Homo-oligomer: A and B are copies of this chain.
Amino acid sequence: MTPPITYDGRHLLADLYGCPLLGDAALIERALRDAADRAGATIIGLHLHHFGEGHGVTGVALLAESHMSIHTWPEHGYAAIDIFLCGARHDPDAALQSLSDHLAPTRIVRHLIRRGEAP
């Protein structure tokens, strides 16, 4: 029996290592806006929090298609990203490529999880 699909969502988690500029809130904002654009997603709200000079940034974009987030630890060169997008028209990998272009990691570890398929 084919399981019923309640909602077809893709949730991409990516760990970015070796990033040089993770304390720059303006860069994080540009990265989120460009990633949404590249994925064909619509931003309905964008919220940033800078934890202070030399510390990390949290950025969350609320999307018509769900959300994207970045949390950064500049002291480790590490950024944790999640990209949650509904529908086959929107490509989380395109968003990740855009974020990667901005953040310039030396290494990426990714996990893709399907959401909303009742087993």
Contact = CB atoms under 8 A, between A and B. Distances in A.
A104 interface: no
Interface stretch (A24-32, A33-41, A75-83, A88-96): A75-83
Contact of A84 (B49, B71, B113): B71
A84 B119 CA distance: 24
A62 B76 contact: no
Interface string A84-118: 10000000000000000000000101010101111
Contacts of A67: 58, 60, 69, 71
Contact of A115 (B80, B84, B107): B80
For chain A, the bracket of interface size reads 20 to 34
Overall SS of chain A's interface: strand
Would you list the 4 A-B pairs with minimal beta carbon distance, nearest first? Answer: A6-B76, A6-B78, A80-B115, A66-B71
Interface of A: 6-7, 9, 11, 13, 15, 17, 44-45, 47, 49, 58, 60, 62, 66-67, 69, 71, 73, 76, 78, 80, 82, 84, 107, 109, 111, 113, 115-119
Given A60-B62, A82-B82, A109-B118, 18 more contacts: A6-B78, A7-B80, A11-B13, A11-B80, A11-B82, A15-B116, A15-B118, A45-B49, A58-B66, A58-B67, A60-B60, A60-B67, A67-B71, A71-B84, A76-B116, A80-B84, A80-B116, A82-B84
